[in-house]
């Protein structure tokens, strides 16, 4: 099996390749200044990377009085990567080149029939279709990255015991081994919040933000953070712990017996919104939701979204309340972590302006040191594909890993 980290065996070559990757194009002169290497060493490394097909000469830069400098850029066609998101509501496979340009994608609803075996079989079929359609030989694949609902064991490539999957079997799934066997390529795993922020961080690599916080709001709440371009890891996989933040000590019981009373995700999640809407229907509140389902217990978030688009007063009230609680939790994180930029993603954020605007406004009002401390809020630039593309970035990063 191809070991990705060994494709560039020289540590200094990895450094130069990484510098080129972080810039659209860069001259040999700039690389000399940035790296502090001698001309002979840099020339040799550039020749090695060019002969391997990892970088390309892309013309000449502007002259500063002498010969025009040669410009270098990453060869995005050197290899291709699959990125896979495994979430509770849907899973998505993307095929990208080394420039993270999406060539193809496919999604599956995570229904009660979508067991690990069923999903892996569909992934293998779809991956082979993508390669055939885009005329990409399997030898040109670098690997597959997986961003999954946590908790996960990154080292052993195992999805541990995630909650709330509809299908059975999602406990202690050796997802990396299974996908490597199915596809014949290396597989890497991390939790989805980490891969999402990796994708967004890479996409914004030319900007000056050093400390990024990402929160995914959906069935549960998931978070991750990048500082100085590196993911922050705790002693255990802590992806879902933000949802257990206590915002009301004598609050409602968590749907999971091991969860905290008054936990944030009991007030701001798909589950919380569905629960509030169902309760209102049972109470006989006036709402167009009453025309959506015969049984209040069958009401889903999609019904709520449809009513929100029609400005149903009850739904606006429910979403505003959930977003307010989310904003309080977000303010707590800002007061502790002080990120420069916060990227919000997931179904609750994608559902419309109301949740995003309400949550961020509440967070700003409750953030200490405001306005001296300024934070930028964003939905991110990769949208709902952040997790899958970030999983591909994770594989690409192995090229420069020592």
Count of beta carbons in the 10 Å neighbourhood of residue 11: 9
CATH topology of domain 80-199+386-400: Nucleotidyltransferase; domain 5 (3.30.420)
Average pLDDT (71-86) is 94
Q: Residue 207: what pLDDT?
A: 67
Q: Which part of the chain has CATH 3.30.420.40? A: 80-199+386-400, 207-380
- How much is the pLDDT for 208? 63
What does the buried/exposed string (b/e) look like for 308-334 if buried means 16 or more CB atoms within 10 Å of the residue's CB? beeebebbeebbebbbbbbbbbbbbbb
CATH number of 207-380: 3.30.420.40
In whole angstroms, what is the distance from residue 152 CA to residue 194 CA? Answer: 11
Indicate the pLDDT class of residue 257, thresholds 50, 70 and 90: confident
Q: Could you read off the pLDDT of 369-385 as tens digits, one per residue?
A: 777 788 989 887 777 78
* Range scoring the smallest mean pLDDT among 65-69, 208-212, 285-289: 65-69
Portions of the chain given CATH number 1.10.10.10: 4-74
pLDDT tens-digit series, residues 119-150? 999 999 999 999 999 999 999 999 999 999 88
Is pLDDT of 239 > 80? no
Quick: pLDDT tens for 302-336. 999 999 999 999 999 999 999 999 999 999 999 99
What is the residue-averaged pLDDT of the chain? 90
Q: Cα angle at 169 between 165 and 175, to 5 degrees? A: 95
Task: Give the H or E element holding residue 112.
Answer: none
Over the range 256-292, which residues count as b (16 or more CB within 10 Å of their CB) and which as e? eeebbebbbbbbbbbbbbbbbbbebbeeeeebebbeb
Please compute the mean of the pLDDT values over residues 171-187 and round it to a whole number.
Answer: 96
pLDDT in tens, 212-238: 899 989 888 888 888 877 888 876 666
Name the CATH architecture for the domain at 4-74: Orthogonal Bundle (1.10)
Residue 80, beta-bridge partner list: 97, 141
d(CA 147, CA 391): 5
Torsion of CA 319, 321, 325, 331, to 10 degrees: 80
């Amino acid at each position: 099996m191809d070991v990705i980290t060994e494709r560039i065996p020289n540590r200094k070559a990895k450094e130069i390749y990484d510098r080129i990757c972080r810039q659209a194009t860069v001259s040999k002169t700039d690389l000399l200044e940035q790296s502090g290497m001698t001309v002979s060493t840099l020339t040799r490394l550039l020749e090695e990377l060019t002969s391997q097909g990892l970088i390309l000469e892309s013309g000449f830069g502007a002259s500063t009085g002498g010969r025009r400098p040669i410009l270098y850029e990453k060869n995005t066609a050197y290899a291709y990567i699959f990125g896979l998101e495994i979430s509770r509501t849907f899973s998505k496979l993307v095929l990208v080149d080394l420039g993270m340009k999406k060539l193809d994608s496919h999604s599956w609803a995570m229904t009660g029939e979508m067991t690990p075996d069923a999903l892996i079989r569909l992934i293998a079929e779809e991956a082979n279709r993508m390669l055939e359609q885009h005329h990409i030989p399997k030898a040109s694949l670098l690997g597959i990255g997986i961003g999954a609902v946590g908790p996960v064991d990154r080292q052993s490539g195992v999805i541990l015991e995630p909650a709330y999957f509809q299908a059975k079997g999602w406990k202690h799934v050796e997802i990396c081994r299974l996908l490597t066997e199915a596809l014949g390529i290396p597989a890497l795993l991390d939790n989805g919040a980490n891969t999402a922020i990796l994708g967004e961080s890479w996409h914004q690599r030319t900007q000056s933000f050093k400390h990024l916080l990402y929160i995914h709001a959906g069935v549960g709440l998931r978070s991750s953070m990048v500082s100085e371009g590196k993911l922050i890891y705790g002693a255990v996989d802590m992806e879902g712990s933000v949802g257990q933040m206590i915002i009301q000590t004598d609050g409602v019981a968590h749907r999971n017996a091991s969860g905290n009373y008054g936990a944030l995700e009991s007030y701001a999640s798909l589950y919380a919104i569905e629960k509030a809407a169902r309760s209102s229907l049972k109470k006989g509140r006036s709402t167009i939701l009453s025309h959506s389902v015969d049984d209040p217990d069958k009401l889903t978030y999609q019904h709520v979204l449809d009513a929100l688009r029609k400005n149903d007063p009850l739904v606006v009230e429910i979403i505003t309340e959930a977003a307010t609680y989310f904003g309080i939790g977000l303010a707590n994180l800002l007061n502790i972590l002080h990120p420069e930029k916060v990227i919000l993603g997931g179904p609750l954020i994608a559902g419309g302006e109301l949740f995003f605007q309400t949550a961020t406004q509440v967070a700003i009002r409750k953030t200490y040191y405001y306005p001296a401390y300024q934070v930028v809020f964003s939905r991110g630039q990769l949208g709902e594909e952040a997790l899958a593309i970030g999983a591909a970035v994770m594989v690409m990063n192995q090229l420069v890993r020592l």
